[in-house]
Structure 1
Amino acid sequence: MHPHRQAVFCALGAVLAWSTVAAAFKYSLRWLTPVELLLVASLSSLLVLAGVLAVQGRLGQLRRLPARDWLASAGYGFLNPFLYYLVLFEAYRRLPAQVAQPLNYAWPLVLVLLSALWLRQRLRLATLAAMGLSLAGIVLISMQGEAAGSAGSDPAGVALALASTLIWAGYWLANSRDRQDAVLRLSANFACGTLFIALWWLAGSPRALPLPGVLGAAYVGVFEMGLTFVLWLSALRLARNAAQVGGLVYLSPFLSLLFIHWVLGETIRPATVAGLALIVGGVLLNQLAGRRAAP
């Protein structure tokens, strides 16, 4: 098979997997608390990443990482998976999946804003317009529960979903200068992060976990945090044009709404679709403006 065709298959597999995880989050939270879900998911992801390194004959490299790399991974692991997913899962616990998922998708524009603040750069007019477009989508999704006379948009849940975008963007900004191999770094991050999660779980009220929740959490670990990341990296590596393959990721949030409806039985509101379209439109507008501004 031609490498570019392999890239497309890998990318479509990753997009399809990512499209299912919002429903898997909400399903698993019927049985587990956010920290219990995160513990099982993080362990599952760590096993998958270690397995990938073992297949590649590089597991020994993880053991031989110098102390400074482990120290960096402890910091990264605190942000992701520990803090980011605790906040995100708590948002999903409070909100309908169709509300939490689009709000979390605003993170690329939060990354642009943080990058501009970090580098002390002025934001272009097109970027400000893109942020305004996405902000309109966030407001539309956040307010729809009140407009419908329901508790669909719990203010604390909305705040947590938006806080998760800040944590995720901060994590990627911190990683932007890291030259370590991506799979190796992520494995070390999850090794450290899983330790933090286990300590947090033990500090609470540990219990025997119900099997349906464990299976759902293991699915999350494999298809949100572990195997799918490797598939996506493979797609970008094999593609003739990474931008063409990368564009497929914008199918994910819309496909996710279908799985939320099919698996969870949520009735997808028109405001959800419209708000998500505005958020994704803002992200795409910013990327298009960035390409035109590039020398």
Structure 2
Amino acid sequence: MKRSFIYVLLVGIMVAWGLNVTALKVLVEHFSPVALTALRILTAGLVVLLFLWGFGKLERVSWKEAKQIGVAALFSVVAHHFFLALGIARTTAVNAGLVLGLVPLVTALLAIVFLGQRPTLFRLLGIALGFFGVVFVVASGDGGLGHLSIGDVYVFLAVLAQGISFIMIKKATVEARLMTGWMLVFGSLWLFVLSLVLEPSGLSSLKEGTLPLWMIFLASAVVATALGHMFYNQAVQHLGPAESAVFINLNPFFSLLGAHWLLGEPISPMQLAGFLFIVAGVLFGSGGMDNVIARFRRAKVAAGGRKAGM
């Protein structure tokens, strides 16, 4: 798979994920969050497995690979989507989208800790800028920092869980698309158990859906969750977690636009300032500036070599 094609694919995934925040905000206002998430993830997992079966890519996994899938599913599916559903139900789509923009920074920080990547000055600066941006976001709430929204905290826990899962996916020996399908299916079963415990009437709430709501549900499950996660996880195995995560800086942008245009949520100056800090943090913290400087130095060395040879 060509690198340029992967980049275009990642931009498309970010559009889907950004607008998915708005879709989830609509859905959790009509359905119980955990029960809805369990059904959405199960639908996505079955779509991925059917996709692989149709292309003859649905292969058996070994016991060792099954354990890798199971552990990764606890973070990538159960923890991430559980906290995301709870968070979106308790905060605005704008705030949720902005906090989700921290995924690249958290992934870069975890890559330093668990993959042994060397922390550069730019990466450390980026991590600081990104978290400073989130301070602006949560400070724009009704009560400021003194009344931190529990929804924002839940969304950040979802970010942390996703960052951990990206590290696991990078280290796994299972093909990314196959791993994604089974992770979604296994994780949805755990989410169904959680919904029965936390939301006794959660499954019955799913009977109250209208045709427009189910259309939004299918778009979220199939496009954003199934295809989005399948191809993103494949990009992680090709490019690595840090480089793939750079594209997630587009996620808050599309989340902001979706929440503002489709839900009419206002965007405050502090939220815009937080967005700019997060984007700057992503560019520095995910290694973007390190790559630019490295290319500049290689070009300078090459130019010096050409002059010396003249």
TM bucket (normalised to shorter chain) is 0.7 to 0.9
Counterparts of 1:65 and 1:165, CA distance in 2: 28
Deviation of residue 202 (structure 1)? 3.0
Q: 1:94 is aligned with what amino acid?
A: R
Counterparts of 1:121 and 1:247, CA distance in 2: 16
Relative to structure 1, the CA distance from residue 38 to residue 211 in structure 2 (aligned partners, 3 Å threshold; closer, same or farther) is: same
Deviation of residue 26 (structure 1)? 0.4
Indicate yes or no: 2:71 matched with 1:75. yes
Q: 1:140 is aligned with what amino acid?
A: F
Relative to structure 1, the CA distance from residue 232 to residue 185 in structure 2 (aligned partners, 3 Å threshold; closer, same or farther) is: closer
Q: 1:180 is aligned with what amino acid?
A: V
Task: Please tell me whether the aligned partners of residues 45 and 183 of structure 2 are also in contact (alpha carbons under 8 angstroms).
Answer: no
Cross-structure match for 1:41 = 40
Counterparts of 2:193 and 2:169, CA distance in 1: 25
Cross-structure match for 1:196 = 190
Counterparts of 1:250 and 1:100, CA distance in 2: 14
Cross-structure match for 1:99 = 95
Q: 2:225 is aligned with what amino acid?
A: M
Counterparts of 1:116 and 1:197, CA distance in 2: 30
Cross-structure match for 1:207 = 204
- Pick which of 199-208 and 37-46 moved more: 199-208
Deviation of residue 268 (structure 1)? 1.7
Task: Please tell me whether the aligned partners of residues 101 and 249 of structure 2 are also in contact (alpha carbons under 8 angstroms).
Answer: no
Unmatched 5+ stretches in structure 1 = none
Counterparts of 1:25 and 1:12, CA distance in 2: 20
Cross-structure match for 1:255 = 254
Q: 1:37 is aligned with what amino acid?
A: L
* 1:49-88 alignment, distance < 5 Å: 49-59=48-58, 61=59, 64-88=60-84
Counterparts of 1:248 and 1:163, CA distance in 2: 20
Relative to structure 1, the CA distance from residue 54 to residue 220 in structure 2 (aligned partners, 3 Å threshold; closer, same or farther) is: same
Relative to structure 1, the CA distance from residue 223 to residue 269 in structure 2 (aligned partners, 3 Å threshold; closer, same or farther) is: farther
Deviation of residue 114 (structure 1)? 2.4
Relative to structure 1, the CA distance from residue 208 to residue 22 in structure 2 (aligned partners, 3 Å threshold; closer, same or farther) is: closer
Counterparts of 1:122 and 1:247, CA distance in 2: 17
Task: Please tell me whether the aligned partners of residues 103 and 162 of structure 2 are also in contact (alpha carbons under 8 angstroms).
Answer: yes
Indicate yes or no: 2:31 matched with 1:32. yes
Relative to structure 1, the CA distance from residue 161 to residue 237 in structure 2 (aligned partners, 3 Å threshold; closer, same or farther) is: closer
Q: Secondary structure at the match of 2:260?
A: helix
- Pick which of 223-232 and 124-133 moved more: 223-232
Counterparts of 1:225 and 1:284, CA distance in 2: 25
Unmatched 5+ stretches in structure 2 = 299-310
Cross-structure match for 2:226 = 226
Counterparts of 1:246 and 1:68, CA distance in 2: 27
Q: Secondary structure at the match of 2:140?
A: helix
Deviations 1:110-168 (A, max 9, x none): 1222233335776332222112211221110110114xx689x7432222122222111
- Pick which of 246-255 and 41-50 moved more: 246-255
Task: Please tell me whether the aligned partners of residues 32 and 205 of structure 2 are also in contact (alpha carbons under 8 angstroms).
Answer: no
Cross-structure match for 1:16 = 15
Query: How high is the TM-score relative to the length of structure 2?
Result: 0.79
Cross-structure match for 1:164 = 158
Deviations 1:31-57 (A, max 9, x none): 112212211210221122012102211
Deviations 1:191-234 (A, max 9, x none): 21111112222334131412245443332211221122345578
Counterparts of 2:144 and 2:124, CA distance in 1: 32
* 1:275-290 alignment, distance < 5 Å: 275-286=274-285, 287-290=287-290
Q: 1:277 is aligned with what amino acid?
A: L
Counterparts of 2:238 and 2:116, CA distance in 1: 35
Selected match of 2:172 from 171, 175, 178: 178
Counterparts of 2:236 and 2:162, CA distance in 1: 21
Q: 1:115 is aligned with what amino acid?
A: A
Q: 2:167 is aligned with what amino acid?
A: L
Say which one has the larger Rg: 2
Deviation of residue 237 (structure 1)? 11
Relative to structure 1, the CA distance from residue 37 to residue 217 in structure 2 (aligned partners, 3 Å threshold; closer, same or farther) is: farther
How many residue pairs get matched? Answer: 283
Q: Root-mean-square deviation (CA), in Å?
A: 3.2
